[in-house]
């Protein structure tokens, strides 16, 4: 059996093994990491299969043709191996386009230069032929770009080795066997690259092609034995990347050192450079805002206050090693909908839907605070109790929809008269109340009369008929016997009934 036959069988076994490995990897999962490993297997197949047929070429045309086929795979083997390493160790989150360009630009140029080498001789300075062990050999004299491609391939292999070792140590899963297999595989690949350039022993063969099967065997053993395709590890990285929550890895100096795609969206929204900004300055807690009840140290922050404000819950969990804090994971969750919903619920609980005034619950809670504040400041407090006259007749004669309209209009009159300096509420049905602080008796009486006139003068239209409504008002003032809100309401209610007895549409002050 000739040397060519032995090498051909060796390479064909390698191709079959590589195809099987690709199929096996594809069957385990369909992550991006696994997809890159499949592409790596295909690149190796192009390389080894092309070189096998180059060895068995019987004329010059076949030699050149199969050598070009090899270069569909050769430039991309180390590049894809680095890409797989970056994906596995989760180092491709930031600057993705820049990193991919740095990895694949030189291999792509190499592919083009090899197929057009006859016009510029940048990749091979010259190609000659000789007979060696009854074989026609292609003697490739390296051009300047071949050294660039070799240096690029060597750097890709070494960077990948460093990534896997760092990941093993960082995850606490450092294994001499695992690191030893990866290191051995990388060393053999680098030796193959060097031998291909040096061409020792006077043989014009591709030493990289001879070394690559050993490298692949060691890597396959590492993948299978140490579960590089373990679903748990891949799923953990996948969850980190696709989570709707934003994850930031922050060091002890409060600098952001890693983040996922959701975090990237927030950084873009803030137009922030993570390499320069401190995390705590980007996400300031809202002073006095209730803290989250979730585990860990947490607070709520607001971004872009105003028209399109967003609320975020920030939770911090430390990562300790040997009882020393190394870094922390900051989880930033968009809780805008939750807080907006809470605001709406609080509003519904405190606001009368029909009149858009405060309801009885809000009036009692806020009113007691207003009276208590007046006790401290010494300001005067007045309470106006109001009742729409003969309101039941409006509902009976014109319908409840007209009654609702009367309530709405009266609410607008009250808001226009008392603005935001008073507590204005609908206590129920046709009964309303206004609590004011810091006004004189004359000012209160004037405003009460404004309500009387505004209500009486407003014309309601029902079909072809026009009707008017009136209101009766009772006023009480804080003093002896009316120190609290309940007593103020009792006295104002008494004054209101006196207004009813006096013929309605009037103001009574007690």
DSSP state of 255: B
d(CA 368, CA 422): 13
d(CA 499, CA 506): 6
d(CA 476, CA 489): 8
Task: Give the number of other CB atoms < 10 A from CB of residue 203.
Answer: 13
The gap from C-alpha 303 to its chain's centroid, in whole angstroms, comes to 14
d(CA 289, CA 278): 22
Collapsed DSSP state (helix, strand, coil) of residue 424 = strand
DSSP state of 291: P
Q: Cite the DSSP H helix spans in 306-378.
A: 336-350, 360-377
Computed from CA positions of residues 56, 41, 109, 122, in that sequence, does the dihedral angle turn out positive or negative?
A: negative
Pairing verdict, β 507-509 and 471-477: parallel
Q: Cite the DSSP H helix spans in 334-457.
A: 336-350, 360-377, 391-398, 400-418, 441-457
Kindly state the greatest CA–CA separation across the chain.
130
Q: Which of 69, 21, 74, 22 is nearest to 44 (CA)?
A: 74
d(CA 144, CA 149): 9
Question: Of 54, 70, 313, 430, which one is the catalytic site residue?
Answer: 430
Task: Give the number of other CB atoms < 10 A from CB of residue 224.
Answer: 12
Whether 413 contacts 454, CB under 8 Å = yes
Task: Give the number of other CB atoms < 10 A from CB of residue 487.
Answer: 17
The two tokens of residue 354 are 């029909």
Q: Where do we find the tokens 């060696």?
A: 132
Q: Is 343 annotated as catalytic?
A: no
Q: What is the DSSP string of 157-190?
A: HHHHHHHHHHHHHHTT---HHHHHHHHHHHHHHH
- 268 contact partners, CB below 8 Å, separation of at least 6: none
Computed from CA positions of residues 47, 52, 55, 61, in that sequence, does the dihedral angle turn out positive or negative?
A: negative
Tallying the residues shown for the chain, one arrives at 510
| 3-class secondary structure per residue, 108-141 | HHHHHHHHCHHHHCCCEEEEEEEEECCEEEEEEE
Q: Where do we find the tokens 């605001």?
A: 343
DSSP state of 389: T
- Catalytic positions: 430
């Amino acid at each position: 059996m000739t040397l060519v036959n032995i090498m051909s069988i060796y390479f064909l076994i390698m191709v079959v093994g590589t195809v099987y490995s690709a199929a096996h990897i594809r069957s385990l999962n369909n992550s991006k990491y696994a997809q890159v490993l499949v592409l790596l297997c295909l690149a190796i197949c192009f390389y080894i299969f092309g070189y096998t047929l180059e060895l068995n070429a019987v004329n010059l045309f076949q030699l050149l043709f199969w050598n070009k086929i090899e270069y569909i795979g050769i430039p991309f083997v180390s590049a894809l191996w680095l890409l797989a390493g970056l994906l596995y160790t989760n180092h491709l989150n930031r600057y993705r386009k820049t990193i991919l360009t740095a990895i694949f630009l030189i291999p792509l140029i190499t592919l083009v230069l090899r197929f057009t080498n006859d016009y510029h001789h940048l990749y091979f300075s010259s190609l000659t032929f000789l007979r060696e062990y009854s074989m026609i050999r292609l003697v490739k004299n390296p051009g300047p770009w071949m050294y660039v491609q070799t240096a690029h391939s060597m750097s890709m292999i070494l960077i990948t080795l460093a990534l896997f070792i760092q990941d093993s140590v960082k995850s606490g899963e450092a294994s001499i066997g695992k690191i030893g297999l990866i290191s051995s595989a990388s060393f053999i690949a680098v030796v193959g690259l060097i031998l291909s350039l040096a061409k020792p022993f006077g043989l014009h063969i591709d030493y990289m092609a001879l070394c690559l099967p050993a490298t692949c065997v060691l890597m396959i053993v590492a993948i299978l034995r140490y579960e590089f395709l373990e679903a748990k590890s891949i799923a953990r990285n996948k969850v980190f990347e696709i989570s709707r929550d934003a994850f930031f890895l922050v060091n002890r100096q409060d600098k952001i050192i890693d983040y996922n795609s959701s975090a990237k969206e927030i950084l873009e929204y803030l137009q922030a450079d993570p390499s320069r900004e401190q995390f705590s300055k980007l996400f300031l807690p809202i002073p006095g805002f209730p803290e989250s009840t979730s585990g860990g140290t947490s607070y709520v922050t607001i971004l872009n206050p105003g028209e399109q404000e967003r609320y975020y819950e920030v939770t911090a969990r430390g990562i300790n090693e040997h009882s020393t804090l190394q870094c922390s994971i900051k989880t930033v969750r968009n809780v805008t909908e939750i807080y907006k919903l809470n605001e709406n619920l609080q509003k519904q609980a405190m606001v009368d839907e029909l009149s858009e005034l405060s309801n009885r619950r809000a009036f009692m809670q806020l009113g007691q605070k207003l009276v208590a504040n007046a006790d401290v400041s010494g300001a005067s407090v007045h309470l106006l109790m109001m009742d729409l006259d003969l309101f039941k007749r409006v509902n009976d004669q014109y319908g409840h929809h007209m009654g609702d309209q009367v309530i709405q209009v009266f609410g607008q009159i009250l808001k226009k008269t008392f603005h935001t300096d008073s507590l204005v509420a609908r206590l129920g049905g046709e009964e309303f109340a206004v609590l004011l602080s810091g006004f004189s008796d004359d000012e209160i009486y004037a405003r009460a009369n404004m309500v009387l006139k505004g209500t009486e003068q407003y014309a309601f239209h029902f079909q072809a008929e026009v009707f008017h409504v009136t209101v009766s008002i009772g006023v009480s003032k804080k003093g002896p016997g009316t120190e609290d809100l309940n007593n103020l309401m009792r006295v104002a209610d008494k004054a209101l009934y006196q207004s009813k007895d006096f013929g309605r549409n009037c103001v009574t002050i007690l």
